[in-house]
Structure 1
Amino acid sequence: MDGFELCHPVDSANFLRIQEAIAGENPTSQWSPMPVHLIGRDNAKSLTRSSAPSLGAFLLVLRPEVVLAMGDILSTSSELLTLRAPALTLFLINPKATLDVLDPERSEVVRFASGRLMRVTKWVLKGTALPECDVFKVAGFRVSPPVVSERFVQRWQECGFQGLEFRQLEHAVAGA
């Protein structure tokens, strides 16, 4: 989200390592804490402290206080991969489930030449309700943006966390 602090690997080559871990191409059992640094300035402008420092559009990084407050939600649906910033441990969220919930006919999608999803500009989900899963990936992406439940959003807001922007996703209407 614009105006909030960022999180980047100390070694930029680790962006690929992160993507491979989240995409399931490298076993996360081999994950070792990755060194990162927080970026609190953009040119001359100070960035606001974030409960979820941005590592990229398809990656969700959380501060320890978020993991503590939302542990029950995260523990059943996600794997926590450790990131080490100076004097701070952060957690990269790796959703365990990949669900086929996107209605590609009603959504607005951009695809790679291979047919794999690149980006979704308008999300429409199949059916009328999401499965009972608080954080998940969407099938069809190499690295899917994390999708979170209403329960996740409510807890986030109740706790007063900042740095994420949520969008309500549409559901396809049967027979429409």
Structure 2
Amino acid sequence: MTRRVPLALLAGLALGLAATGASAASYEFVPAPQADLNRMYRVDKVTGEVTSCQYGLQESGGGIGLTVCFAAGEGAGAQTPSEYGLVATRHTREAGVFRVNYRTGEMSICFVLVKKEQVVCTQQANPPAEAAADAAPPAPGRSGAGATPPQGGRP
């Protein structure tokens, strides 16, 4: 005997699984590039909120240590909903990371202010439009001052 599952039950189950999958992938984690720092940054991929945690020594009790976390401070709180990520540079003495908006191309730098015990970020920014136009290569078939010759060609 076969059992028939109501369509509404299947749709509800599918929606529940989709919501679970979406919430399971809502954060991205990136370590600070500084070689001697055990700090990890976390960004909410939808809101852009950035927080950070690192290992800390436990001064009393002789335990194994503790996790020290820093909440979102100035500029690190929720931004306009979008698609955010974190990118670490390859600079081995850099303690901060870039927060990037994959939809708009905007970036900001985020780092921990230990005295305030907060993560702070600069304002999200893009290069000015005129700077982007200046950096654009000339149209095919056109040359101009500062035009880059093709690889292997002469200026």
TM-score by length of 2: 0.24
Greater Rg, structure 1 or structure 2? 2
Which structure has more helix as a fraction of its residues?
1
Q: Which structure ranks higher in relative contact order (CA pairs < 8 Å, sequence separation ≥ 6)?
A: 1
